[in-house]
Structure 1
């Protein structure tokens, strides 16, 4: 039998040359577009016998799910509420995921070890780069959960010096504030109503669920900043709608999903989020069209 190749005829990495199973886990999960993204990528790479599915797995259920998996499993994508739990389960965790306190990707190695990664950070940075945003100084972060920590690190990578963290309950943002201080950022915790004030910024990232009503509308000065809303279902979110009504610029949450998924494909196929895929532009194109 001929060795499998990608669309350009280049041979695939050794670990990619046998049927594999993968899945995205979380709760709720029925809305996830990850299966469409990943299946498009593996088909383009010639991995037509790789299967990627979705499974409803709630908080505290990840360990038991992993224990039931056989050797054909290559990896898992993790979404709410499993990212902190995946961090604890992983045998080895990359530096960025450890700093964020969240693992959204588990590579199930052939030796049985579980390797943890965070592709949310890179997904945010790459999505913003596509929108022409490569550098900021002052950011505003809406929300204080696991994805907020990833967004804060992404802002730091873009050069942010200060970030306002807007939350309803300041106590829920304690870990994000601590992370910001550890990275040398000037961090201020503000109520959500801050978005309705005269508060200009370079970039606003919202990490709250898509159906969340923040109980306010953004001011014109703050809506002059680009908004990246990581939520994508339902779309547009209430916050994105308010932004657009004021003539503001919004980066769709699907852009982050697309780019973090590409990094996951790098991990599942080649084991390294920094190593480009064969025919990566073609892979990204078919993933984008799958959305």
Structure 2
């Protein structure tokens, strides 16, 4: 694909945003695709500032990537959202059409599915989810596509348990909940998705079984997590946060630029370089 006509802009918004690898990934894609007139920036924008940011956008803007705390706050500012985004009430991608229409999408969900399939996980008879935040709901939506049995969510409160069961009902997933104190039992499942903040699962690392299934730890920094390291040492397949970040960014690039296939390998290499060579491959 050759350079687009005229300047085109995209960016990632969130607060805080300085840690985001999205500029590295998207710029690598533009370079590989020959999109010399495209730029991708990062802006620290919170919920209160988001409407004003939208008001200041001109026709050169092609799209936005969104991180916390904006994934739900952006929805009232849009003209519509995709079925995927609607399924979890969360938008991480906004695409601007030539007529000015603003459409929200969610590439986290198909990105999770793609990251798992890249590591050979096509189906799972059951699964466990550690955590109950926005990423956990996206994990449930991904599991709706690949998990044929129950999903157990390990949470810290009755309110969170209710939320996860509610998401399960909406997504058609058989969600069962258990107290976080029993989280080590999650490791009996053939697929475990850890969606918690850095350090939360460190205390569980010593409970990894001798023959674990597959771990999907959505963190990418610091990496590897203590849990991912122990899992890999036990011989279990590990999918990391950079895997997810790259696959969801590939879909964002395709949506924003209209290209048929974004350069996965170049984007992954850019992400690994930005992390100082500490890529997500705890399997090595």
Return 48-57 or 165-174, whichever deviates more. 165-174
Deviations 1:211-231 (A, max 9, x none): 435643463349712111111
Offset at residue 263 of structure 1 (A): 0.2
Matches of 2:71 and 2:226, distance apart in 1: 25
Following TM superposition, the consecutive aligned residue runs of length 4 or more in structure 1 with deviations greater than 4 angstroms are none
Q: Check whether the contact 1:101–1:146 (CA below 8 A) recurs between aligned residues.
A: no
Matches of 1:120 and 1:222, distance apart in 2: 31
Find the counterpart in structure 1 of residue 281 from structure 2. none
Q: Check whether the contact 1:167–1:190 (CA below 8 A) recurs between aligned residues.
A: yes
Any stretches of 5+ residues in structure 2 without a counterpart?
Answer: 272-284
Q: Which of 95, 102, 110 pairs up with 2:90?
A: 102
Q: Check whether the contact 1:143–1:166 (CA below 8 A) recurs between aligned residues.
A: yes
Find the counterpart in structure 1 of residue 250 from structure 2. 262
Q: Helix, strand or coil: the match of 1:84?
A: coil
| Structure 1 segment 31-180 matched on structure 2, within 5 A | 31-180=19-168
Cα RMSD for the two superposed structures: 2.1
Matches of 2:178 and 2:105, distance apart in 1: 30
Find the counterpart in structure 2 of residue 287 from structure 1. 267
Any stretches of 5+ residues in structure 1 without a counterpart?
Answer: 7-11
Q: Which of 163, 183, 188 pairs up with 1:195?
A: 183
Matches of 1:57 and 1:223, distance apart in 2: 44
TM-score (normalised: structure 1): 0.86
Find the counterpart in structure 2 of residue 29 from structure 1. 17
Offset at residue 89 of structure 1 (A): 2.3
Q: Check whether the contact 1:124–1:151 (CA below 8 A) recurs between aligned residues.
A: yes
How many aligned residue pairs are there? 271
Matches of 2:18 and 2:73, distance apart in 1: 20
